[in-house]
Structure 1
Amino acid sequence: MRGHIRHTVAVLLLTAALPAVAQEAHNAVNEANNPLTPKITINLQDYYIPSFIDAPGDPEANQFLLRGLIPSDMFGLPQLLRFTLPIATSPDIPSSYVTGLGDLTLIDLFVLPKAGSVTFAAGPVLVVPTATDEQLGSGKWQAGAAGVVVAPQKWGMLGGLLIYQASFAGVDDREDVNLLTFQPIVNINLNDGWYLRSSATWNFNLESGDSYIPVGAGVGKVFQLDRGVTMNAFIEPQYTVWHDGPGAPRWQIFAGLNFQFPIGR
């Protein structure tokens, strides 16, 4: 009888603990995907574009993104310093390709106090014309602003990243830049660190009018490594559902490895 009681108590304790364990795993996946998580982050991401809309010669392109995030408390305010440096291969009409560095983008996000579970951040944007070839960059210094909102859910996460940038200096005979981008973020958490994702970036060229909206559907998995390091691996095909003007990707494959490191390690 006593053995039966002990077994029953053990089963009840285990049953009570399972929801807490599941919630902890759910929170870990959300944290790995949250662009406002205050951890040192290195992102190794890649866009492969096998087909463009109304592009002569049916060219391909590739853009590897080296992206980092560094938490800071300068001026007594929580901030996230984010940089993105592309290494791109782009068509060089009519029949060749060029590979090299693209333009460096710097964003300083000031994280605002939470409104419930929702987090907001906003800050300035600076684009430095570091491209090694005119096909890989705008040739213009650009400035603007970015805003981020993240809302964790019981089933995953919703979010969005809005960036506006416009040129203010640079090569005179290059086209001015007046660009608005919006990246909606939708994640649905599964079991064992797996999740479904959609994060395609909408591009609106306010200077030329050439714009396009892709939609993505992919899958990822979060791994907990040694010393508190988190690795997030994903792949997300993206298809353009609306475009205005030639040259938009017909479809593209977005893939990456993201690493988050605890502060002080």
Structure 2
Amino acid sequence: MMISKTAVLALVLSLGGASFAQAQDAEELAKDLSNPVADLISVPFQLNYDDNIGPDDGGSRWTLNIQPVIPFSLNDDWNLISRTILPVVSTDGLPPGSGTHTGLADTVQSFFFSPKDTVGGGWIVGAGPAFLVPTSTDDRFGVGEWGAGVTGVVLRQSGPWTYGGLANHIWDVSGDTDISSTFMQPFMSYTTPEAWTFTLNSESTYDWESEEWSVPLNGVVTKVVQFGDQPVSFGGGIRYWADPAPNGPEGWGARFIMTFLFPA
């Protein structure tokens, strides 16, 4: 059977067009991942390793943050975005000589009311309540008490760049522990047409009760790929504790991340 040159050319062009469309989709998904209030269901699994912890700097810690993000359309103008952070923690040598312990830490649950359109000439914003949920299975991993507060995010996306910040403040609601903690996450990322994203951020926490900072700096590289019909982002990077809390991690650490994406 003879195949015409026209048919071959049409097949090549159609495959090339499909590849270009897939590349565009991957790039847009990568940019959406840089937006904490994007209209995109995602389930990140973020694994962090920290060292030099404790009074003798002999402890270490693995933390797996399970972070599902689920947007809900409220009407033609507003979305509600649910962001959950459930940490699974494994420590070694904390306290010194205690061996390995694994369990859950407390969960931070945030809700952002976000306009579907940008404001102020291109800014994306969102704000709402934040809650501390006592899911910790051991005093080593959390305070085990309820907390509540406010959260907000503001960012801008211009070409390949995304920059902005997310913050929350949580107070104790009940229990024996006084909680007044501020979390601040300034971030900046650059996404390439090939769906690589290079991100720098800080995840600073200030404890108003003890008047102490905890400031890690993170540099991460991720890539959106397609496994069959399932888009996935994966990558990793390094972290450095610029201002560790007393008995907290010091020096260098590592971060690995895999995110399952469910575009509408």
Q: If the length of structure 2 is used for normalisation, what is the TM-score? A: 0.81
Partner of 1:78, secondary structure, is: strand
> Which structure 2 residues correspond to residues 32-111 of structure 1 after superposition, within 5 A?
32-52=33-53, 55-74=55-74, 77-90=78-91, 91-96=93-98, 97-111=100-114
Partner of 1:169, secondary structure, is: coil
Identical-residue share of aligned pairs (%): 25
Gaps of 5+ in 2: 1-19
Aligned position for 2:251: 250
Q: Distance in 1 between matches of 2:75 and 2:97?
A: 51
Partner of 1:140, secondary structure, is: coil
Q: Distance in 2 between matches of 1:195 and 1:70?
A: 21
Aligned position for 1:163: 168
CA deviation string 1:120-158 (max 9, x = no partner): 001101111111111111122100111111211223211
Query: 1:32–1:230: 8 Å Cα contact kept in structure 2?
Result: no
CA shift, 1:242, in A, is 2.9
Mark the CA change 1:25 to 1:155 in structure 2 (over 3 Å): closer, same or farther: same
* Corresponding position: 1:114 with 2:122: no
Partner of 1:92, secondary structure, is: coil
* Corresponding position: 1:180 with 2:182: yes
Amino acid corresponding to residue 33 of structure 2 in structure 1: A
Amino acid corresponding to residue 256 of structure 1 in structure 2: I
CA deviation string 1:18-74 (max 9, x = no partner): x9998766434212322212122111111110223x632511011111111111135
Q: Distance in 2 between matches of 1:197 and 1:180?
A: 22
- Further displaced range: 133-142 or 87-96: 87-96
Gaps of 5+ in 1: 1-18
- Further displaced range: 67-76 or 111-120: 67-76
Aligned position for 1:3: none
Q: Aligned-residue CA RMSD in angstroms? A: 2.5
Question: Which ranges of 4 or more aligned residues in structure 1 deviate by more than 6 Å?
Answer: 19-24
Partner of 1:31, secondary structure, is: helix
Q: Distance in 1 between matches of 2:261 and 2:25?
A: 17
Please identify which structure carries the higher helix content. Answer: 1
Q: Distance in 2 between matches of 1:225 and 1:79?
A: 29
Q: Distance in 1 between matches of 2:48 and 2:89?
A: 9
Corresponding residue pairs, total = 240
Query: 2:24–2:193: 8 Å Cα contact kept in structure 1?
Result: no
